[in-house]
Structure 1
Amino acid sequence: MSNGDIIVSLDIGTSKVRAIIGEINDGAINIIGVGTADSEGIRKGAIVDIDQTVQSIKNAVEHAERMVDIDISEVYVGIQGSHIGVQTNHGVVAVSNGDREIGEEDIERVLQAAKVVTLPPDREIINLVPKQYIVDGLEGISDPRGMIGVRLEVEATVITGAKSAVHNLVRCVDKAGLKINGVILLTLASGVMTLSKDEKANGTALVDIGGGSTTIAVYENGGISAISTLPIGGQFVTNDIAYGLRSQSDHAEKIKLKFGCANVADAAEEVKFKVTRMGSNVEKEFSQKDLASIIEPRMQEIFQLIKAEVAALGYADTVESYVLTGGSVSLPGTLTLAQEELQASVRIALPDYIGVKDPSYSSGVGMIQYVSKYMGVRGASTTTKKPVSRKGNTPASSKPRMLERIKNMFQEFI
């Protein structure tokens, strides 16, 4: 552990809270620990009970700690939801060095200039993503460091969120005894891991189908152009199964994961299972095809809503492909059904790391890659090499006040 930097990501979802520990060695990422806990206190991606959410966070982190025998004290936290907004902005500065060589200070100043946007009082900036730099009118520059110029400009995507949602998220993690090193848009993190350079440039919809919501991000010209969240996800499929089979919700979830199939044509009639009917001790036998006949209509609806939302965002003609991720796309037959409903090129993306080869881990692993790629060594020290126990944290009286911590966190993010 002492040879590499450690990054810990925290993905707080509607159905699960996941803590993932990544170790960076010579630029390569190794996933060395994963902790998962049932998510309580989250509804459709929004925090509705702080105490329950705090306990879920603690359970996931403790699970990850036991896996690798270290104590986690600092994390990067993912955020998403219907409150997220995207807009573009332009920043311009004069190069400050006497020899006109562009340095880190110039880049920092132009990024700060791009953050000057008019926002309603209930919103704040979460992430700022440079799309391109312009040096003395020359466009398409990805990294202007070391170039000679007089005028430096940046075109950036400004990602904003509701203050209440951000502050509630920060408060939950803080009450769990963890320090937040940064808040990262989950869709942005997933895009780093799942999308190729060509997919980001040519028009691709990255679709994260979670338990309680579905997030759609349209990538175009190398960055996010639009983002939207639909209040529907895998829990709706579970509810349909519970109603159709007259079983309890927790039992319906287990049946879905073990026998579920999103496409009736791919389901097997000979695969049978028994369900204890709610309100009685009588068991009734069903086939996988019976179960698929319940799942398929809801999954069809989800994909139809996704296609309609992309059209509503104004990208019906420009989106050439869809990349699916999230826990709810793991069901067999999902890819076939998605191709039929979306009438486009579709693939399912998942992390290529041992222990997390599942679409549900895309966001958490993506956060680790995002920090490693864009935030450098400064962001790669989310836990000490000699672990510091959360149980022995600095007393609350010596911590910065909550609002100061949030303010500093966003100022230091880029």
Structure 2
Amino acid sequence: MSNQDFVITLDIGSSQVRVIVAEVNADGTPHIVGVGTAKSQGMKKGAIINIDQAVQSIREAVDHAERMVGIEISEVFVGISGHHISLQPSHGVVAVSSEDREIGYHDIDRVLQASRVIALPPERAIIEVVPKQFIVDGLDDIKDPSGMVGVRLEVDAIIVTGTKTIMTNLLRCVERANLNIGGMVFLPLAVSELCLSNDEKKLGVVMVDIGGGTTTLTVYQQGHLAGTSVIPIGGEYITNDIAIGLRTQTSRAEEVKCQYGVASKEFAKTDETFKVQTIGTSRERIVTQLELAQIIEPRLEEMFQLIRQQVKVMGFSDEPAGGYVLTGGVMATRHILDVAQSQLGAAVRIAIPQNIGVKEPSYTGGVGMIHYLHQRGVFQIESGRSTHHPPRQKKQRGPSAFEKMKNWLSEFI
């Protein structure tokens, strides 16, 4: 089977590394056919602290996906996020180049490139350009100007930047795992594109991705990306509390959290029990589900309170009209929605991918990247298959954003 007919995403989290393989159908739409997971090593709070361990985790996840799908994976799209990410507004202006003044994809690429010309500190690099609106001869609030006629094309955009050192270490890990990099995807943006509706974005909404080591907040207002932030707290903190409270090993604490944990004491059972070995002794003690919930619930309440506080610190209302949309591995905890609503308000929902085989909130990042790449027409470039664009427009199309990303990546690797 040819690797060129597949698009593969790599989500390197603090607790798990996840690889998702999507087959590109004849019409250019993706179909998820395989996943690979591995315990994440060498990562802490979204940053790499041990390259060798991180490389081994990536390789294990890739091998798992290769065995499932039956292909050799050579190229991946890598998700990136973390506390080092920042956003800043920008504006680009170009003259429409065609003789008939019809705006083509080449003109859109040019104006997006023009918006990238901003003053940046030497330690930062541009990850993504997110257009807010296009302006054609003074007419604003245009989402897609292709096919329109005009003389002057402008764009209001958000520039996503990251720290070069952190990005370089991430790319080095992927390269040392014998993988080529098809491009980098700003993970919070991809997750939001998958999980949020247009109405939620217009009303104002907070997307919350609670992972193993970090919680990522993405705020939308008036339909546009308005801010992003990372709180250094996640599911690992619940596991640590359980390990301390039950005086047991962290690995065992993680097991009982996943198998017996419930988010609220109200739904815990006193007749459901399990055994844990106490550190420092050979004895095993019997613990009830209620005792476990008494440890989990206060930590979850604290996490949701920190989320509200951080939204305020970012300069937004902690009661957005569109509410909160929650995802990430921690959201698999039973009855967690009840605790979330008690702390964040009634306008809270959990977002879970609906694809067969990945119907868990922990896969939202990888599936979100597949969705994001499809929306931006990357699959037609990777697979070499037909597109929905008519031939005239395809001829006008210049290098894609991800082709330019590949050239940019050569400076780091």
Return the TM-score normalized by structure 2. Answer: 0.91
Is the contact between residue 3 and residue 73 of structure 2 (CA under 8 Å) also seen in structure 1?
Answer: no
Q: Distance in 1 between matches of 2:383 and 2:184?
A: 15
**Cross-structure match for 1:354:** 356
- Taking a change above 3 Å as real, the CA distance of residues 29 and 237 of structure 1, as seen in their structure-2 partners, is same
Task: For 2:333, give the aligned amino acid.
Answer: L
How far residue 380 of structure 1 moved from its aligned partner, in angstroms, is: 3.3
Q: Distance in 2 between matches of 1:344 and 1:163?
A: 40
**Cross-structure match for 2:390:** none
Task: For 1:41, give the aligned amino acid.
Answer: G
Matched, 1:180 2:181: yes
Q: How far does the alpha carbon of each residue in 1:109-161 deviate from its partner, in whole angstroms, 9 at most, with x for none?
A: 10011111111111010011111111111111111111111111111111110
1:110-149 aligned within 5 A:
110-149=111-150
Is the contact between residue 273 and residue 286 of structure 2 (CA under 8 Å) also seen in structure 1?
Answer: yes
Task: For 1:313, give the aligned amino acid.
Answer: M
- Taking a change above 3 Å as real, the CA distance of residues 86 and 379 of structure 1, as seen in their structure-2 partners, is farther
Task: For 1:237, give the aligned amino acid.
Answer: I
**Cross-structure match for 2:151:** 150
Q: How far does the alpha carbon of each residue in 1:383-408 deviate from its partner, in whole angstroms, 9 at most, with x for none?
A: xxxxxxxxxxxxxxxxxxxxxx9771
Matched, 1:19 2:19: yes
**Cross-structure match for 1:164:** 165
How far residue 2 of structure 1 moved from its aligned partner, in angstroms, is: 6.2
How far residue 199 of structure 1 moved from its aligned partner, in angstroms, is: 1.3
Task: For 2:68, give the aligned amino acid.
Answer: M
- Taking a change above 3 Å as real, the CA distance of residues 103 and 318 of structure 1, as seen in their structure-2 partners, is farther
Matched residue SS, 1:154: strand
**Cross-structure match for 2:241:** 240
> Which 4+ runs in 1 deviate beyond 4 A?
1-4
Q: Distance in 1 between matches of 2:24 and 2:373?
A: 11
**Cross-structure match for 1:9:** 9
Q: How far does the alpha carbon of each residue in 1:259-298 deviate from its partner, in whole angstroms, 9 at most, with x for none?
A: 0111111212221111111111211111111101001111
**Cross-structure match for 1:196:** 197
How far residue 3 of structure 1 moved from its aligned partner, in angstroms, is: 11
Q: Distance in 2 between matches of 1:359 and 1:312?
A: 26
Is the contact between residue 14 and residue 46 of structure 2 (CA under 8 Å) also seen in structure 1?
Answer: yes
Task: For 2:40, give the aligned amino acid.
Answer: S
- Taking a change above 3 Å as real, the CA distance of residues 223 and 187 of structure 1, as seen in their structure-2 partners, is same
Task: For 1:12, give the aligned amino acid.
Answer: I
Is the contact between residue 372 and residue 380 of structure 1 (CA under 8 Å) also seen in structure 2?
Answer: no
Which of 135-144 and 311-320 deviates more?
311-320
RMSD: 1.9
Unpaired runs of at least 5, structure 1 = 383-404
Return the TM-score normalized by structure 1. Answer: 0.91
Is the contact between residue 3 and residue 72 of structure 2 (CA under 8 Å) also seen in structure 1?
Answer: no
Unpaired runs of at least 5, structure 2 = 385-403
Matched residue SS, 2:271: coil
**Cross-structure match for 1:95:** 96
Is the contact between residue 219 and residue 228 of structure 2 (CA under 8 Å) also seen in structure 1?
Answer: yes
- Taking a change above 3 Å as real, the CA distance of residues 178 and 281 of structure 1, as seen in their structure-2 partners, is same
1:400-411 aligned within 5 A:
408-409=407-408
- Taking a change above 3 Å as real, the CA distance of residues 226 and 65 of structure 1, as seen in their structure-2 partners, is same
Give 2:341's match in structure 1, choosing from 314, 339, 344: 339
Matched residue SS, 2:159: strand
Is the contact between residue 218 and residue 319 of structure 1 (CA under 8 Å) also seen in structure 2?
Answer: no
How far residue 28 of structure 1 moved from its aligned partner, in angstroms, is: 3.5
How far residue 379 of structure 1 moved from its aligned partner, in angstroms, is: 4.5
**Cross-structure match for 1:373:** 375
Task: For 1:201, give the aligned amino acid.
Answer: K
Q: Distance in 2 between matches of 1:292 and 1:194?
A: 29
Matched residue SS, 1:380: helix
How far residue 381 of structure 1 moved from its aligned partner, in angstroms, is: 4.0
Matched, 1:328 2:330: yes
Is the contact between residue 182 and residue 409 of structure 1 (CA under 8 Å) also seen in structure 2?
Answer: no
- Taking a change above 3 Å as real, the CA distance of residues 351 and 4 of structure 1, as seen in their structure-2 partners, is farther
- Taking a change above 3 Å as real, the CA distance of residues 184 and 116 of structure 1, as seen in their structure-2 partners, is same
How far residue 15 of structure 1 moved from its aligned partner, in angstroms, is: 0.4
Is the contact between residue 29 and residue 374 of structure 2 (CA under 8 Å) also seen in structure 1?
Answer: no
Is the contact between residue 181 and residue 409 of structure 1 (CA under 8 Å) also seen in structure 2?
Answer: no
Which of 147-156 and 215-224 deviates more?
215-224
Task: For 1:148, give the aligned amino acid.
Answer: V
**Cross-structure match for 1:40:** 41
Q: Distance in 2 between matches of 1:224 and 1:40?
A: 32
Matched residue SS, 2:248: coil
Q: How many residues align?
A: 390
